[in-house]
């Protein structure tokens, strides 16, 4: 038998975000036409723009869009798609979806529906693993037939601690670690409720909890001609609440013997279940012992690290075997070269309980392509909602050794800046720079339970150079204004000169409730102040969104965003927001000035969104100014009525020009004033 059992020319990607873009890229390279799908929230999304065509699925809630089998199949019909790639998440591990795709006469880029069904359940997958001779985690006697009865927390043969998990589970949901008998009943009950709500199935498993283990998983690939190969392993032990944060290949702590055991167990399991396409067999490795955890019957989020070290394109191979072609290589042809590490960028606040974040990212700057691969779906101006998974990008770096890859990834995160939307980039950067990571000591519960892990989740101190840099930039803005220059403060590469004798420029900053005063010498670049210094700062190089500064002889790369009320300085991936309690924050100052909305910097009017007579609310955007290559929203200082709109798009404004006057509602002015 040869190729073309199910040939297809058009692929629908039933997903969104970075993974939809990733699949579209390889599909295009394979010569396929691509169809994107989208919810109302994603009409303008990057994956929609990049596909050859796009079909709307429905409203924003996933249940009515990306999780609707009916809507996805309808999209395939109207677009003439002949195959569907599910990505990860959403419908990717739904056996009913895989079956429905087949019944509709389309090719599902994944394993057969029966395999998805069996491996999608941790209890059934365990049984397959046992049949294939793969070691599994000891299961509690409490779990009769793999099903725990919370009414009988009697004899626990495996001993405590145990982990309670949902048989139908995923994404760490429905998991509870139980350290002693008295906690068991409550844990079972809450896990059961969570499992029922998340998966519509409340079957639970109780396993021995393996402390300080490492999560090591094996990538497998199988075609429909009987060939099953592995692409070696990934270590995904850096986790928070059983969710992966940083992954790498190869695994840094296992012996060759354990590696052979893992890879052969994964291949045996894939053969046993009649696997096809790409899949991942997950294991826990504790004290040199290997235990099967589960199998994921889809492409993993972390597949790029395997691609970097093997040089293979996993999506391309998925499409190939889905088309019925044989794998174009054998096991002996798969070689691992060097090391790769991936960091997952989430829209979340790591320093405030990892709460998911929403909002518009005003500035997004990714590392240079020669530094790292970025699989993302976020650009300047992108809006992130909490309707979907908070993963916005993955940054993947490689190198000849683990240490080289780690250094490259740290440098890549240093080049990354996301402003306006809170992400975990700074957290990832400090984690990767830690000695615990460098020494490969981070195990699966380190971030959740180890004191050093807990410290890594605390907001770090503001870097010493941060406020001086902010003061220096603000002084430059001021100096530019005084010399009537209309360009950005970075407009000249050779420092800046004032017409008259150099007077020190005073700047005030506020951080964490404390105001500091700074004096900046515009000729020497010396910054001194109540909060630190003296430091000498000079401009080395100015890029599109980034500047390189010489700070006391050390070159610092940063992205700086100045707006009316704050300055954001991004250092080592972390944006530090400093308030400007000074004259450049006009709408915050009391008196008649606060009726006026003035240009906080010299710039060009991009839009005027209100006309005199309009009723406006505090914070409402009245117009947009472009200054220093940034868009600056001019906002209403209080509830009121627009009395005057004194500019039109295209107007050049000087600092302090009045753009709008808003007559406050009775009594609101006093409240608005500080
Ligand atoms: P999910 O499908 O929800 O991702 P997994 O079974 O893959 O669940 O487990 C996710 C993570 O939970 C693992 O990587 C590991 O950190 C932890 N875990 C699961 N089972 C155990 C166990 N028996 N002992 C210790 N940790 C475990």
Strands 107-108 and 83-85: parallel
Pocket test for ligand 1, best of 129, 235, 284, 302 (most atoms within 8 A of CB): 284
For residue 211, the ligand 1 atom closest to its alpha carbon is 25
For residue 239, the ligand 1 atom closest to its alpha carbon is 16
For residue 291, the ligand 1 atom closest to its alpha carbon is 23
Two structure tokens written together for 128: 């397959």
Condensed to tens digits (0 to 9), the pLDDT of residues 40-79 reads 999 999 999 999 999 999 999 999 999 999 999 999 999 9
Give the integer Cα–Cα distance in Å for 409 and 126.
36
pLDDT of residue 591: 37
Pocket test for ligand 1, best of 444, 446, 447 (most atoms within 8 A of CB): 444
How many angstroms separate the alpha carbon of residue 218 from the centre of ligand 1? 15
CB 537 within 8 Å of CB 550: yes
What is the Cα 486 distance to its own chain's centre? Answer: 37
303 pLDDT above the threshold of 70: yes
Beta carbon of 248 within 6 Å of any ligand 1 atom: no
Give the single-character DSSP code of 463: P
Give the single-character DSSP code of 276: -
Pocket test for ligand 1, best of 242, 279, 447 (most atoms within 8 A of CB): 242
pLDDT of residue 674: 26
CB 493 within 8 Å of CB 539: yes
pLDDT of residue 2: 43
Beta carbon of 207 within 6 Å of any ligand 1 atom: yes
How many angstroms separate the alpha carbon of residue 209 from the centre of ligand 1? 9
- The residue whose CA is least distant from atom 13 of ligand 1 is 242
Which stretch of 83-87, 103-107, 138-142, 394-398 has the lowest confidence by average pLDDT?
Answer: 138-142
How many angstroms separate the alpha carbon of residue 137 from the centre of ligand 1? 10
How many angstroms separate the alpha carbon of residue 131 from the centre of ligand 1? 21
Top-ranked range on mean pLDDT: pick from 167-171, 253-257, 358-362: 253-257
Top-ranked range on mean pLDDT: pick from 138-142, 155-159, 299-303: 299-303
φ/ψ of residue 509, rounded to 5: -135, 150
- The residue whose CA is least distant from atom 23 of ligand 1 is 209
CA distances from 344 to 32, 164, 240, 270, 558 (A): 29, 26, 12, 28, 21
Beta carbon of 210 within 6 Å of any ligand 1 atom: yes
Beta carbon of 167 within 6 Å of any ligand 1 atom: no
Give the single-character DSSP code of 367: P
Residue 75, CB half-sphere, CA atoms under 13 Å: how many? Answer: 29
- Check whether the bond before 534 is cis (ω within 30° of 0): yes
577 pLDDT above the threshold of 90: yes
Global pTM reads: 0.85
For residue 215, the ligand 1 atom closest to its alpha carbon is 14
CB atoms within 10 A of CB 158: 17
CA distances from 169 to 177, 215, 342, 394 (A): 15, 17, 24, 24
Give the integer Cα–Cα distance in Å for 183 and 179.
7
pLDDT of residue 298: 98
CB 113 within 8 Å of CB 102: yes
Beta carbon of 239 within 6 Å of any ligand 1 atom: yes
pLDDT of residue 584: 46
pLDDT of residue 6: 55
Average pLDDT over residues 536-545: 88
409 pLDDT above the threshold of 50: yes
pLDDT of residue 648: 87
Q: How many Å is the Cα radius of gyration of the chain? A: 28
How many angstroms separate the alpha carbon of residue 232 from the centre of ligand 1? 20
Specify which residues 348 forms β-bridges with.
356
- The residue ranges of DSSP E strands in 271-333, in sequence order, are 277-286, 289-296
Give the single-character DSSP code of 12: E
pLDDT of residue 364: 96
pLDDT of residue 500: 53
How many angstroms separate the alpha carbon of residue 445 from the centre of ligand 1? 10
pLDDT of residue 228: 98
Average pLDDT over residues 155-178: 85
Mean per-residue pLDDT over the chain, rounded: 89
Beta carbon of 293 within 6 Å of any ligand 1 atom: yes
CB 594 within 8 Å of CB 663: no
pLDDT of residue 545: 77
Condensed to tens digits (0 to 9), the pLDDT of residues 652-664 reads 887 677 899 898 8
Beta carbon of 284 within 6 Å of any ligand 1 atom: yes
Average pLDDT over residues 184-208: 89
How many angstroms separate the alpha carbon of residue 608 from the centre of ligand 1? 53
- Check whether the bond before 109 is cis (ω within 30° of 0): no
Sequence-ordered list of residues with C-beta below 8 angstroms from that of 539, at least 6 positions apart, any chain: 490, 493, 495, 547, 548, 549, 550
pLDDT of residue 632: 77
Bigger pLDDT: 252 vs 582:
252
Average pLDDT over residues 181-205: 89
How many angstroms separate the alpha carbon of residue 386 from the centre of ligand 1? 25
How many angstroms separate the alpha carbon of residue 158 from the centre of ligand 1? 17
Give the integer Cα–Cα distance in Å for 354 and 245.
12
585 pLDDT above the threshold of 90: no
What is the Cα 576 distance to its own chain's centre? Answer: 19
590 pLDDT above the threshold of 60: no
b/e code 362-399 from CB counts within 10 Å (16+ = b): bbbbbbeeebbbbbbbbebebebeebbbbbbbbbbbbb
Beta carbon of 242 within 6 Å of any ligand 1 atom: yes
How many angstroms separate the alpha carbon of residue 243 from the centre of ligand 1? 9
- The residue whose CA is least distant from atom 22 of ligand 1 is 209
pLDDT confidence tier of residue 173, bands split at 50, 70 and 90: confident
Pocket test for ligand 1, best of 140, 160, 175, 294 (most atoms within 8 A of CB): 175
328 pLDDT above the threshold of 60: yes
Bigger pLDDT: 214 vs 672:
214
Two structure tokens written together for 186: 């409550």
Average pLDDT over residues 575-585: 78
How many angstroms separate the alpha carbon of residue 172 from the centre of ligand 1? 7
598 pLDDT above the threshold of 90: no
Average pLDDT over residues 668-672: 36
pLDDT of residue 481: 53
Q: Which among 70, 77, 58, 78 is positioned nearest to 16, based on CA atoms? A: 58
Which stretch of 74-88, 281-295, 499-513 has the lowest confidence by average pLDDT?
Answer: 499-513
For residue 296, the ligand 1 atom closest to its alpha carbon is 2
Is 40 buried (19+), middle (13-18) or exposed (0-12) by CB count in 10 A? middle
Which stretch of 117-126, 158-167, 218-227, 374-383 has the lowest confidence by average pLDDT?
Answer: 158-167
How many angstroms separate the alpha carbon of residue 293 from the centre of ligand 1? 7
CB atoms within 10 A of CB 403: 11
Per 3-state DSSP, the chain is made up of helix, strand and coil in percentages (nearest 5) of 25, 30, 40
501 pLDDT above the threshold of 70: no
Residue owning tokens 């997004």: 364
pLDDT confidence tier of residue 141, bands split at 50, 70 and 90: low
């Amino acid at each position: 038998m040869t190729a073309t059992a199910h040939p297809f020319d058009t692929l629908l990607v039933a997903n969104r975000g970075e993974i939809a873009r990733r699949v579209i890229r390889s599909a295009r390279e394979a010569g396929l036409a691509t169809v994107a799908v989208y919810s109302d929230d994603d009409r303008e999304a990057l994956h929609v723009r990049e596909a050859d065509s796009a079909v709307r699925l429905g409203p924003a809630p996933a249940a009515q869009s990306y999780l609707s089998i009916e809507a996805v199949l309808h999209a395939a019909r109207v677009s003439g798609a002949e195959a569907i790639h599910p990505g990860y998440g959403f419908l990717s591990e739904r056996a009913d979806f895989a079956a429905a795709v087949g019944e509709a006469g389309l090719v599902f880029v994944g394993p057969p529906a029966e395999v998805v069904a069996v491996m999608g359940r941790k209890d059934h997958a365990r049984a397959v693993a046992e049949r294939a001779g793969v070691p599994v985690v000891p299961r509690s006697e409490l779990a009769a037939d793999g099903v725990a009865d919370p009414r009988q927390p009697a004899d626990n043969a495996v001993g405590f601690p145990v982990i309670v998990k949902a048989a139908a589970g995923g994404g760490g949901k429905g998991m509870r670690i139980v350290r002693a008998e008295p906690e068991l009943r409550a844990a079972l009950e809450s896990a059961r409720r969570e499992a029922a709500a998340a998966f519509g199935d409340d079957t639970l498993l109780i396993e021995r909890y393996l402390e300080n283990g490492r999560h090591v998983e094996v990538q497998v690939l199988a075609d429909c001609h009987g060939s099953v190969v592995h692409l070696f392993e990934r270590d995904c032990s850096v986790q928070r609440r059983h969710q992966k944060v940083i992954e790498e290949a190869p695994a840094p702590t296992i012996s060759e013997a354990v590696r052979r055991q893992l890879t052969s167990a994964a291949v045996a399991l894939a053969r046993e279940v009649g696997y096809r396409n790409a899949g991942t067999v997950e294991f826990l490795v504790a004290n040199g012992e290997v235990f099967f955890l589960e199998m994921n019957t889809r492409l993993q989020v972390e597949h790029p690290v395997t691609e970097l070290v093997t040089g293979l394109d996993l999506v391309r191979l998925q499409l190939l075997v889905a088309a019925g072609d044989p794998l174009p290589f054998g096991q002996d042809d798969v070689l691992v070269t060097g090391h790769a590490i991936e960091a997952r960028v989430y829209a979340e606040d790591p320093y405030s309980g990892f709460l998911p974040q929403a909002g518009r990212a005003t500035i997004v700057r990714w590392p240079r392509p020669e530094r790292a691969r970025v699989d993302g779906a976020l650009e300047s101006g992108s809006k992130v909602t909490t309707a979907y998974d908070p993963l916005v990008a993955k940054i993947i770096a490689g190198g000849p050794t683990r240490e080289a890859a780690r250094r490259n990834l740290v440098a890549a995160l240093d080049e990354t800046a996301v402003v306006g939307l809170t992400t975990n980039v700074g957290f990832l950067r400090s984690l990767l720079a830690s000695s615990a990571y460098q020494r490969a000591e981070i195990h699966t519960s380190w971030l959740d339970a180890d004191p050093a892990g807990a410290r890594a989740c605390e907001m770090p101190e503001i870097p010493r150079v941060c406020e001086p840099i902010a003061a220096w930039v603000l002084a430059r803005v001021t100096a530019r204004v005084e010399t009537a220059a209309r360009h950005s403060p970075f407009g000249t590469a050779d420092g800046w000169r004032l017409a008259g004798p150099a007077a020190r420029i005073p700047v005030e900053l506020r951080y964490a409730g404390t105001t500091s005063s700074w004096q900046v010498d515009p000729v020497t670049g010396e910054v001194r102040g109540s909060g630190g210094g003296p430091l000498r700062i000079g401009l080395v190089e100015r890029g599109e969104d980034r500047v390189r500064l010489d700070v006391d002889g050390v070159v610092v790369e940063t992205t700086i965003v100045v707006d009316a009320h704050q300055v954001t300085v991004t250092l080592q991936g972390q944006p530090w927001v400093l308030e400007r309690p000074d004259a450049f924050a006009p709408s915050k100052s009391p008196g008649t000035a606060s009726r006026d909305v003035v240009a906080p910097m010299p710039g060009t009017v991009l839009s005027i969104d209100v006309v005199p007579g309009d009723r406006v609310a505090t914070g409402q955007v009245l117009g947009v100014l472009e200054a220093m290559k940034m868009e600056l929203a001019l906002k209403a200082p209080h509830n009121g009525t627009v009395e005057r709109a004194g500019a039109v798009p295209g107007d050049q404004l000087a600092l302090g020009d009045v753009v709008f006057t808003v007559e406050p509602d009775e009594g609101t002015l006093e409240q608005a004033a500080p």
